[in-house]
Amino acid sequence: MARNTYYGTLVLQIYLPIAELSVNLFFLVGIGGAVGFLSGLFGVGGGFLLTPLLIFSGVPTAVAVASVTGQVVAASTSGALSHYRRGGVDLHLAMYLVLSGIVGAFGGVAAFDLLREAGQLDLVISLGFLVLLGFVGVLMLQESARALLKRRQGVVVRERQANQHNWIHGLPWRVRFKKSRLYISVLPVLLIGLFIGFVGSLLGIGGGFIMVPALVYLLRVPGSVVIGTSLAQVVAMMAATTVLHAVQSQSVDILLAFCLMVGGVAGAQFGAAAGMHLRGEQLRGLLALLVLAVAIRFGLSLVLTPDDVFSMAVTSVAP
């Protein structure tokens, strides 16, 4: 590690072998830690914050997306393990989600490569984040605002509505998921997995913030196993996506991912501890605001006149 002292401040630069540029080590571990803190606080992977931050700080989009995929695995592992020990993981359900998720990830990584060649990767990533985060953010904000209001009026909020059924529960090929106490069709389960696999590998996010609401509102999975199952699914699917990215686009920077992991894993522990002091609906409200802020940021980048209308990319390295 180089130690250059500029005007009394210690600057540690580290060379990233795949991104082929040199970045400040404290900056990498710092954003890893900050995002890790938020992910521990809210129980999400944090990829939706980390990928944009890296792109913004000059890491090539492809390397950022692929390397964050690795970081999400690390960030979700300790959470998934502790939920598993407490019996909060429905492995049967997770398996269905992961298998269809991997199929989706194949599609996502292929689309990622095609878009990169066509020069539209940044556009689709911005658009994807905007639509997805905007939609989920508005939904979460609505829900948590309603819950906060009700609490203020003294109404007891019921956390889950397992006995309520919707049209999804009427579909064929029903399977019994013992741990979740569900007897539902596998079709919506597979579709959710497929969608999150595709979107997650394309955008470099774990998709926990889509998975959790999907499990709660669409499948009516009980609250005790939602987070654990979602985390287990994220670990397995992002692990598969990391390998796919490594094979297909060869843009996983192990050093970048490791720096982010170290910061992220440490930050997540403090975030989880801080989360104990906040109520569920407050947490969800804050997360909703955060998600919306990122969505608006991406929306603006599409609409506002860019600083530079020109950009460049390497299409292939001549032999």
Q: Which residues bind other proteins (CB under 8 A)?
A: 1-2, 4, 13-15, 17-18, 20-22, 70-71, 73-79, 81-82, 119-120, 122-123, 235, 239, 242-247, 250, 252, 254-255, 257-258, 261-262, 265-266, 268-269, 302-306, 308-319
Considering the complex, what minimum distance in angstroms separates the CB of residue 156 from other proteins?
33
Beta bridge partners of 183: 176
Nearer to other proteins, 21 or 91 (CB): 21
Considering the complex, what minimum distance in angstroms separates the CB of residue 289 from other proteins?
25
Nearer to other proteins, 17 or 87 (CB): 17
Alpha-helical runs (H) found in 162-253: 186-203, 208-213, 223-248
Considering the complex, what minimum distance in angstroms separates the CB of residue 57 from other proteins?
13
Q: Is residue 82 helix, strand or coil?
A: helix
Nearer to other proteins, 139 or 262 (CB): 262
Cβ atoms of 75 and 208 closer than 8 Å: no
Nearer to other proteins, 81 or 103 (CB): 81
Nearer to other proteins, 264 or 285 (CB): 264
Angle value at C-alpha 229, between 226 and 233, nearest 5 degrees: 135
Considering the complex, what minimum distance in angstroms separates the CB of residue 209 from other proteins?
19
**Residue written as token pair 């890790």:** 36
Cβ atoms of 32 and 50 closer than 8 Å: yes
Considering the complex, what minimum distance in angstroms separates the CB of residue 287 from other proteins?
21
Burial of 71 (0-12, 13-18, 19+ CB in 10 A): buried
Query: Whose CA is closest to 74, among 185, 188, 204, 238?
Result: 238
